[in-house]
Amino acid sequence: MAYEVPPLPYDYAALEPHIDEATMRLHHDKHHQAYVTNLNAAIEKHPELSGKSPEDLLQDLAAVPDDIRPAVRNNGGGHVNHTMFWQIMTPGGGGTPTGALAQAIDSAFGSFDAFKAQFNDAGVKRFGSGWTWLVKTSDGSLAVVSTANQDNPMSDGQFPIMGNDVWEHAYYLKYQNMRPKYLEAWWNTVNWAEINRRFEQAG
């Protein structure tokens, strides 16, 4: 079965004023759709892969045939990254994490504010297009990392707990060249309940 873009779990305008409706429409309906369309086109060339989840593909890119590996890396990454992205934002989001995740962040980074500063800094310093992430590493610790393009940390054996899209398509209509302003505003959309669920899923 072909991969599909999941419906946005809230209205396109629901994240206003932090993320504008026009950006959400383009980002979800055009950009995410393009990754899915291109991923499906790649997998059609190798129907033996069609039963695999996009996460399975990204976790073992070496097992993907050479002729479609770059397409799967870029478009499978684009699909998985954006599917997470819509879910880790919510209308009326923001605030700070609670429970075990809050404790893990405090113990890894010193404080929530220190974590947030490190996460934003990684996003600001990502040259060109990419993502900034909070991951669980293979040794079980939390870390902030940044990836280029649509690379997902799971291709490096890390579990992505949360990530922010720092491609210009995520913010340029509203914030133009001011990526730091977008990164700061984005925290007002964060869905800590979903991120907590992902933290527990990371094990």
Give the residue with the Cβ less far from Fe ion, 119 or 167.
167
As a whole number of angstroms, the longest Cα–Cα distance in the chain is 48
Give the residue with the Cβ less far from Fe ion, 48 or 127.
127
Near Fe ion by CB under 5 A: residue from 165, 166, 185, 190? 165
Q: Helix or strand or coil: residue 142?
A: strand
Give the residue with the Cβ less far from Fe ion, 162 or 170.
170
Tell me the closest approach of the beta carbon of residue 50 to Fe ion, in angstroms: 25
Strands 159-165 and 130-136: antiparallel
Residue with the closest Cβ to Fe ion?
A: 165
- CB-hemisphere CA count at 13 Å for 200? 8
Give the residue with the Cβ less far from Fe ion, 170 or 185.
170
Q: Where are the alpha helices (DSSP H) in the chain?
A: 21-25, 33-44, 54-59, 69-71, 77-87, 99-109, 112-125, 172-175, 179-186, 192-202
Task: Name the residue among 139, 131, 149, 156 with its Cα closest to residue 58.
Answer: 156
Q: Which one of 47-55, 131-139, 144-152, 159-167 is the stretch in contact with Fe ion (CB under 5 A)?
A: 159-167
DSSP 8-state class, residue 190 = B
Q: Which amino acid, one-letter code, is at 144? A: V
Binding mask 108-147 for Fe ion (x = CB under 5 A): ----------------------------------------
Our finding on whether 194 is near Fe ion (CB under 5 A) is no
Give the residue with the Cβ less far from Fe ion, 45 or 181.
181
**Cα torsion at 196, 197, 199, 200 (round to 10°)?**
120
Tell me the closest approach of the beta carbon of residue 36 to Fe ion, in angstroms: 13
Give the residue with the Cβ less far from Fe ion, 105 or 146.
146
Q: Helix or strand or coil: residue 159?
A: strand
Q: Which one of 53-61, 65-73, 109-117, 167-175 is the stretch in contact with Fe ion (CB under 5 A)?
A: 167-175
Tell me the closest approach of the beta carbon of residue 78 to Fe ion, in angstroms: 7
Residues within the interface to Fe ion (CB under 5 A) = 165, 167, 170
